[in-house]
Amino acid sequence: MSEPKINPLHELIKYLTYFEELGYPWLPRYREFSFIFNRENFGLKKGDLEDLFNQISRCQSCFLHRIRKQPVFEKRGSPIDLMLIGDFPSKEDDFYGVPFSGPLGETLQKMLLSIGLKREDFYVTLVVKCKPPAGRLPEEEEIQACKKYLLQEIMLLKPRLILALGNLPVKVFLEKPVTLSSLRSKPFKYKNSMIIFTYHPSYMLKNPQVKRFIWEDLKTFRKLYDETF
């Protein structure tokens, strides 16, 4: 008589449920076992993000495609539980094709390190993928043209926590006009994700007085992180 086959995923769920029933709010995710939590094992196909990246690269939905050097988006294909959303590309981002390049990226890294995290822990993306001309803000048409890509990123990756920087993410997730100052540091639920809104690091560099507000928001994010993982 042959032994019954064991379903590893079923056994893993039973194992995690057992610890949940014992009252443990989280379990450590050791690097050696990180492959277990890869979203590819839970329905995300490798080609899904690649297809989305190709769509963004070919996009001509608004005026910005005519003047960009290249669209700016996270080129990592591996799913991750944390997402960071910025506003729109800087000139350095436009040159390198990577969000938060140059000095702004260094500032962002310092912000994250202050709460024991780092940029590499996040899937980093932007609301608008192409740089507006002459340093102007993206227009509503341009925000709407890119909105679908951001929502697809969230749908595919299913991040548990999102740190949203600046005013543009507010426009994406809330249809009615709302100020960032009224939203910041208050967890906002979007589908299966929790979002913390705060000021963009570029705004902080021009307005140092908001630094303490960002610090408060980052601590709130860290608290959510500790409660979630």
For residues 26 and 19, what is the distance between their CA atoms, to the nearest angstrom?
A: 9
Structural domain spans, the chain:
43-228
Q: What number does CATH give the domain 43-228?
A: 3.40.470.10
For residues 173 and 10, what is the distance between their CA atoms, to the nearest angstrom?
A: 35
For residues 222 and 116, what is the distance between their CA atoms, to the nearest angstrom?
A: 8
- This prediction has a pTM of 0.79
Segments of the chain with pLDDT less than 70:
1-47, 77-79
The string of pLDDT tens digits covering residues 7-20 is 565 566 666 655 55
Q: What pLDDT shows up at residue 30?
A: 44
Q: What pLDDT shows up at residue 33?
A: 46
- How far the first Cα of the chain sits from its last, in Å, is 42
Q: What pLDDT shows up at residue 80?
A: 81
Q: What pLDDT shows up at residue 175?
A: 78
